[in-house]
Amino acid sequence: MNWFRVRTPGKPFRVPASPLNRPPVNVSAEFPESFEHPLLPHDVWMRQALAEAQAAFEEGEVPVGAVVVFEGRVIAAAHNQRETLNDPTAHAEMIAITQAAEALQSWRLLDCALYVTLEPCPMCAGAIVQARIPTVIYGTTDPKGGACHTLYQITSDPRLNHQSAVLGGVLKEECREILQAFFAHQRAQGKK
């Protein structure tokens, strides 16, 4: 089960002991049916990010969605709006980070998790570091612009003043499929 990668500065990712006092297990192990999958909560939040991506698709935007979760609830949800706003910085992550900062009345998003359907680009990864977001979960990698694992590792660069734990590959097939469908549709219409 090697469908995601984790990058946590200085230590490997391990599932904490369960309420049943089970010892920690490596997330790459196969789980018995009775064991609650450690990524289950991530699937729930990523599906909300996918709903935002679908909204972007319907608006003719590149279908990337993001949500910010704080204390078990979504405090920000956004999708790409570059075309709508004529703003090159209107990525889903940037908008969601701004919404979350407004909701918490703080630019420091210390106890938040960002869920995004596509691996953040360098601009968004920089904003993640600046906002002090400790956890980033993304769906599919971005081979042309990914800045968490693929091309760069901005969110885990020890030279910066803050690092984030990053988990990639959550619902990666669904996240990749919506992007592929969008670009196939664009090509069929002779756009982009």
Q: Would you name the residues annotated as active-site residues?
A: 93
Place of tokens 């694992």: 149
Give, in order, the Cα–Cα distances in Å from 53 to each of 131, 137, 175, 189: 22, 15, 8, 20
CA angle 185, 187, 192 (to 5 degrees): 110
| Rg, Å, the chain Cα set | 17
Name the residue among 57, 59, 67 with its Cα closest to residue 95.
67
